[in-house]
Each structure stands twice: as C-alpha cells, then as structure tokens.
Amino acid sequence: MALQAQKLRINALIALVVGSMIGGGIFSLPQNIAERAAGGAVLIGWAITAVGMLALAFVFQTLANRKPELDSGVYAYAKAGFGDYMGFSSAWGYWISAWLGNVGYFVLLFSTLGYFIPVFGQGNTPIAIGCASLLLWAVHFLVLRGIKEAAFINLVTTVAKIIPIVMFIVLAAVAFKADIFTRDLWGAATPDLGSVMDQVRNMMLVTVFVFIGIEGASVYSGRAEKRSDVGKATVIGFLGVLALLVLVNVLSLGIMSQPELAKLQNPSMAGVLKHVVGEWGAILISIGLAISLLGALLSWALLCAEILFATARDKTMPAFLKKENANHVPVNALWLTNSMIQIFLMITLFSAGTYTSLIYLASSMILVPYLWSAAYALLLCLRGETYTHASRQRLKDLLIAAIALIYAMWLLYAAGPKYLLLSALLYAPGVFLFAKAKREEHQPLFKPLEKVIFAAVVIAAISAAYGLYSGTLTL
C-alpha cells in the first residue's frame, strides 16, 4: 500500500522517461547512422525525427489523460479504435519488438566483450551465441525466482550509461573538427549511400529504435504528484534524450569521416573515443555499456513477459499466458518470450544477421502500434470524443495527431519492402493465439474488414517466406 500511496515528483518522472529510452542503441549510433547517411542527411533525419517523435510523445500523453480507462498498454488504443484484431496485432508486434530488442542487446553485449575477447567477434560467432544462450537462461531462472525490481541494479546501470555518454560528448566536442564534418556533407563521394532522400529514409529506423520506450511515459500518469507534470516530464525527458543522441551522432561525424565510422565495430562509440584519447577511451565505453546491458537484460526480460501477461488478463491473448508461479511471475509468458529469444539467437548464428539487422526488424515491428495509436488520437479529435465542440485544445490535438500519423506512415515507407515483409512473416503466426483467445470467449474469429487485413498479412508473409527460401530476401 505504501508503494501505491507514493507520488512521483517531476524530477522522478523525468528520470523514468529518460531511463526508459536510453538503452544500448546510443552506444552503437555513430556506426549505425554512418553506414546509412552522411552529415547533411543526418541533420535532416534528426529534424524529422524530433518533430515526429515529439508528436508521438504528445499523442501518448493525450490518450493517457483522455482515456485513462485504457491502461493496459499501447495496444489498447488500437483495440478501442479499430477492433480486436488490430488490438491483438499491436500487442503482438509490440511484444515481438521488445524481445527482438533483447536479442539485439545480447548480440551487442558480446560484440562489446569481443573488444577484450576476440573470439566473440561481432557478437554472433558460435562461442558468442553459446555464451549468450547461457546468460539468457540464467536471467530466465533468476526472474522466475521473483526478482521483479532491483533498485540497486537500476541505479548502477543508469550511472554506467550516463557517465560514459557525458564524458564522450565533452571529449568529442573538444576534438570536433568542422572540416571533417563538412568534407563530404551530402555523401557525393560515396555513391553507395544513394541520394540525400535515400540516406534520410535509410537512417530513420535506427532513430526509431533508440526512441523505443517513449510511449512508456504515460504508464506513470497515475503515480504523478501532479497530472500536468507527466506532460512536462515527457517533453523534458524526450528533449534531453534527443540532445544526447544528436550530439553523439553529429560530434562523431566531426572526428572521423563517414566511411571510417561506417567500418567501426559496435559499440562504435568505443572506437570513436579511442580515436580521440586512445585505448582507455574504448575501455571506458565498453565497460559502461557491458554493465548497462546486463542490467537492461534483467529488466527487459520481465517487461517482455508482462506485455503478454497484461494482454492475457484483458482477454486479448489466451488465458494460459496469465498464469503466475508462486513468486507472482508470469511463468508461461516468460517461457514463451525467452524461447523466441533463443530461436532468434540461433538464427543470427546461421544467417548474415547482425545487430543492425535486428534493430531494423525490431523497429519495423513497433511501427504498427505507433501507427494505430496516432490514428486513434486523430479519430478521437475528429469525433469530438472527450472534447467540447469547438475547443482550441481539440484543434491543437488534431494537428499533433495528424503530424504523428504522417510520421508513422513515413516510417512505414522508410522501412522499405524488406523489413515490412519480414514483419509480416512474424505477424502472421500470431493468428493462432488470437484464434485461441477468441474461442475462449466464444466469439467469431474475424469481422469482415479484419478478414481482408489478415489476408493481406498472409500474402506478405508468404512472399517473405519465398524470398528467404530463394535467397532474394535475407535477415
């Protein structure tokens, strides 16, 4: 009861917002972006991201305030606005995005350790995958014992993340050279990057991945000391994280050229800092990231399971996923989640898949929940639901929701056919769980429009499967 009575002040809310967004992605950002875009396109891409993600942040906050009864997660907006199958698909995609991110974390962790132990390579060598698998199941059984919150671990990992990032920015700012940044500003000397528009489009999914978690701010609305503080914390936290990401990315392009950055091993921040101060810089970043990722793996393991647990409780997912063990851990959801992580760890071993491929796929999977959330916010404004007829707030929210929806649609375009097809291949099997949940409620499987949508998903999934079989599509 004491925990429920505790109210969070704005500083605590800002810390929660920042902590939910800063993961391992920022440590690999210099290489991930440089592989896709030159300096000029990077600035344009971050400008688009800033506007689009801020609009999405406002959308999640608006929905949390105007629809407080929809507190089961981001997928609840899709279900409320567009029906059960869209709600299920959003939940399914959100869950897959979460555990795919965890697969990426495992690869990045052992890629980081590869700096000290070369046999781990890029994090997807046989020994790296074997060790990652052992760590996965160690975390699994640790969580099963009831470790839901570990304040000390969270504190250590937060410090481990922030200190190296701030040190990197300070040292990189001193070493920044404008002539390096502007040397090939639009990537003309690197034809493989494509046009400026191609570069902007190709970097967008990386920017989405580093902001996954922005929707989590609304979770804390009920525990805020002042309801209005949540909106302020969302904006302040978002702008703070945006500043860190842009500074890390842009300053790196003024220290090493785009082609040099693109060839770095991840975590590429380590390579950039080594270029500035020598060996100790790389060691600092690598140790900080390794500690951060170990903590993140523990917290995200439970988060992934709780996504399924929450959706099973409101009957979007089958009832077996809400089973808890004696320690109140959602045991079936945890087993399903970590089994999928294990399968994809094996896939990274036998395919050309790398950390970048995994974060692109994870980002693609999160696009459906983002798209339907923005569409639902727009729908509320158009209907005037929860608004007075001609309020200024309604017009303001209408504009923000429209921007967020356009941004989400742009992201689908930026994903390109490859990742959309691969996403469909992961979305399609979810119908078995959807059908089981519907049977348990004695309801028909699909409504007429949902049949059309599912047929489109199946066609795309079959196309993806054939592409993987024929070699025209790769992970």
Q: Would you list the DSSP string of 366-432? A: HHHHHHHHHHHHHHHHHHTTTS-TT-HHHHHHHHHHHHHHHHHHHHHHHHHHHHHHHHHHHHGGGHH
- What global pTM score does this model have? 0.85
3-state DSSP assignment of residue 329: coil
Long-range contacts of residues 247-250, Cβ cutoff 8 Å, at least 24 apart: 247/169, 247/172, 247/173, 248/26, 248/29, 248/30, 248/165, 248/168, 248/169, 248/172, 249/29, 249/30, 249/33, 249/42, 249/46, 250/39, 250/42, 250/43, 250/46, 250/181
List, for residues 237-247, the tens digit of each pLDDT value: 888 889 999 99
- Residue pointed to by tokens 């089973």: 323
pLDDT computed for residue 352 by the predictor: 59
DSSP structure string for 262-281: HTPPSSHHHHHHHHHH-HHH
Residues 6+ apart with CB under 8 A from 66: 380, 386
- What does pLDDT average to over the chain? 85
Mean pLDDT of 425-454: 92
H/E run at residue 317:
none
Q: Is the pLDDT of residue 4 over 50?
A: no
Would you say residue 471 lies in a domain? Answer: no
Q: How far apart are CA 404 and CA 54, in angstroms?
A: 8
Tokens linked to 276: 């500035």
Mean pLDDT of 452-471: 91
Q: Could you tell me which residue, 196 or 266, shows the higher pLDDT?
A: 196
Q: Could you tell me which residue, 132 or 300, shows the higher pLDDT?
A: 132
- Residue pointed to by tokens 């009832």: 319
Band (pLDDT 50/70/90 cuts) for residue 221 is: low
Would you say residue 430 lies in a domain? Answer: no
Would you say residue 409 lies in a domain? Answer: yes
3-state DSSP assignment of residue 121: coil
Q: Find the CATH number of the domain harbouring 294.
A: 1.20.1740.10
Q: How far apart are CA 77 and CA 168, in angstroms?
A: 39
DSSP conformation class of 324: B
Would you say residue 262 lies in a domain? Answer: yes
pLDDT computed for residue 274 by the predictor: 93
pLDDT computed for residue 22 by the predictor: 78
pLDDT computed for residue 5 by the predictor: 42
User: Side chain identity at 226, as an amino acid letter?
Assistant: K
Q: How far apart are CA 110 and CA 120, in angstroms?
A: 6
Mean pLDDT of 128-142: 91
Q: Is the pLDDT of residue 303 over 90?
A: no
What region does 287 belong to: left with phi over 0, alpha with psi -120 to 50, or beta? alpha
Band (pLDDT 50/70/90 cuts) for residue 2 is: very low
pLDDT computed for residue 248 by the predictor: 95
**Surface-to-core class of residue 321, CB atoms within 10 Å of its CB (0-12 exposed, 13-18 middle, 19+ buried):** buried
pLDDT computed for residue 390 by the predictor: 66
pLDDT computed for residue 320 by the predictor: 94
- Residues above pLDDT 70, as percent of the chain: 89
DSSP bridge partners of 324:
330
Would you say residue 461 lies in a domain? Answer: no
Q: Are 177 and 272 in contact (CB under 8 A)?
A: no
Distance of CA 21 to the CA centre of its chain: 8
Q: Could you tell me which residue, 116 or 156, shows the higher pLDDT?
A: 116
Mean pLDDT of 222-233: 69
- Residues above pLDDT 90, as percent of the chain: 37
Please tell me the least confidently modeled range out of 44-53, 70-79, 177-186, 324-333: 70-79
List, for residues 395-408, the tens digit of each pLDDT value: 999 999 999 999 99
Q: ∠340-330-454 over CA atoms, to 5°? A: 50
List, for residues 71-128, the tens digit of each pLDDT value: 666 788 888 889 899 999 998 998 998 888 888 888 888 988 888 888 998 888 899 9
List, for residues 320-338, the tens digit of each pLDDT value: 998 988 888 889 999 999 9
Would you say residue 470 lies in a domain? Answer: no
Q: Is the pLDDT of residue 198 over 60?
A: yes
Mean pLDDT of 64-73: 75
Would you say residue 425 lies in a domain? Answer: no
Q: ∠273-275-279 over CA atoms, to 5°? A: 70
pLDDT computed for residue 354 by the predictor: 64
Q: How far apart are CA 334 and CA 330, in angstroms?
A: 6
pLDDT computed for residue 341 by the predictor: 93
Would you say residue 170 lies in a domain? Answer: yes
Please tell me the least confidently modeled range out of 43-47, 62-66, 169-173, 255-259: 62-66
List, for residues 256-290, the tens digit of each pLDDT value: 999 999 999 878 999 999 999 999 988 888 888 88
Cα Rg for the chain, rounded, in angstroms? 22
Q: Are 79 and 87 in contact (CB under 8 A)?
A: yes
Total structural domains in the chain?
Answer: 1
Residue span of the structural domain in which 374 resides:
2-416
Helices (H), 176-323: 178-181, 196-211, 227-253, 258-262, 268-277, 279-313
